[in-house]
Amino acid sequence: MILADKITELRKKNGWSQEELAEKLDVSRQSISKWESAQSVPDMSRILKLSEVFGVSTDFLLKDEMSLSDVQKISFEPEEESGPARQVSMEEAAAFLSFRDKSSGRVAFGVMMCILSPALLIALAGLQEGGIIGLSETTAAGIGLVVLLLLVGGAVGIFVTNGLEGQQYEFLEKERIDTAYGVDGMVKDRREKYRHTYSVQLVAGIVLCVLSAIPLFTAMIVFGDNDAASSVSVAAILLLVAAGVFLIVRCSIIWESYQMLLEEGEYTPEQKEEQSRNDYLSAIFWGSATALYLGVSFLTMEWHRTWIIWPVAGVAYGVVTAVAAVLRKRG
């Protein structure tokens, strides 16, 4: 087995594209292509680097009589378990980035609608109780509930539609990929151009969420224990949180699209395997949290208080996934 074939096989076994291997060796993709097609041979310094990157001896690389089956140091998963890497063309990558850019705004708006859904109900309940508006308790609650259901229903429609449109790209989250020549460079270039926007929107979203408590404290200072003021301030809190979360979700979706194509961050081959295990846990957990929120809210009609279920659920989810990961490792 000649050196060219060994480099090709080792690269594919690791699930790397020519560009990815070139980056690890600090050479051009053209150099990798020439090595693999036997048009040129790497110098000794590159041979040593190849040995280090692939985890094999230089003897194995240089001796034609040695094949992959002769090397004991190579530790790969069986091909039948991991399967071949999914090929991603330049056109497919560009289409995916375009889709994520458009869908990020839709999904973020849907999340914002969910957060804002009880705001009018809370505000009307407080204003009615304080005698500020001339509506009966039943009418105020009815209007608030209709708006709540319309917003939640609209958000669900957005999520379902977006999910159906994005089904063709689900493999990017779950499977190993091998991008065509030029894709990695294109993605990295677009990511660098977006980096400043991402940082600004992420920080702005976090700041809005942190500052969202100001209306409640202001109402307490100015109006004291006034139910109407408290209810309106809670609605204002939801408005600020919704705006902050909109920015966070939108910029995060776009940023994640770059990570998916580059298989970085949470989308490395190892993380994808781990994430596939968490999908069922996530569906069960958040489905239960939603049912709990709606059940408690409708039974108590304390919408201005039951929103606390969501931040508690967010913290609990982190604990649950961490415990599940530990249990899997022990098992």
Q: What is the tens place of the pLDDT at every residue in 51-97?
A: 888 888 887 787 776 766 655 444 444 444 445 678 888 899 999 99
Q: Retrieve residue 24's tokens.
A: 């690890």
Closest Cα to residue 234, out of 210, 216, 214?
216
Closest Cα to residue 271, out of 190, 175, 193, 178?
175
Q: Give start and end residues of each alpha helix (H) in the chain.
A: 3-13, 18-25, 29-36, 44-54, 58-62, 79-82, 90-116, 119-129, 137-165, 171-174, 183-211, 214-223, 227-262, 269-300, 303-306, 309-330
Same domain, 133 and 159: yes
User: What is the C-alpha separation between 240 and 52, in angstroms, rounded?
Assistant: 52
Give the angle 108-111-112 at the CA atoms, nearest 5°: 85
Same domain, 41 and 104: no
Same domain, 296 and 259: no
Amino acid identity for residue 235 in this structure:
A
User: What is the C-alpha separation between 129 and 202, in angstroms, rounded?
Assistant: 38
Average pLDDT, the chain: 83
Which residue among 50, 78, 106 closes a domain?
78
Same domain, 65 and 131: no
Same domain, 122 and 250: yes
Same domain, 110 and 204: yes
Same domain, 232 and 327: no
In-domain check, residue 88: no
Same domain, 226 and 114: yes
Closest Cα to residue 323, out of 285, 270, 266, 272?
285
In-domain check, residue 120: yes
Which residue among 250, 266, 282 closes a domain?
266
In-domain check, residue 309: yes
Q: What is the tens place of the pLDDT at every residue in 248-293?
A: 999 999 999 999 898 887 777 766 666 555 555 666 777 788 888 8
Q: Give the confidence band of 113 by pLDDT, cuts at 50, 70, 90.
A: very high
Residue range(s) defining the domain that contains residue 14: 3-78
Same domain, 143 and 210: yes
In-domain check, residue 86: no
Same domain, 181 and 319: no
In-domain check, residue 260: yes
For the chain, what is the domain count?
A: 3
Q: What is the tens place of the pLDDT at every residue in 181-234?
A: 788 889 999 999 999 999 999 999 999 999 998 988 898 888 887 878 888 898
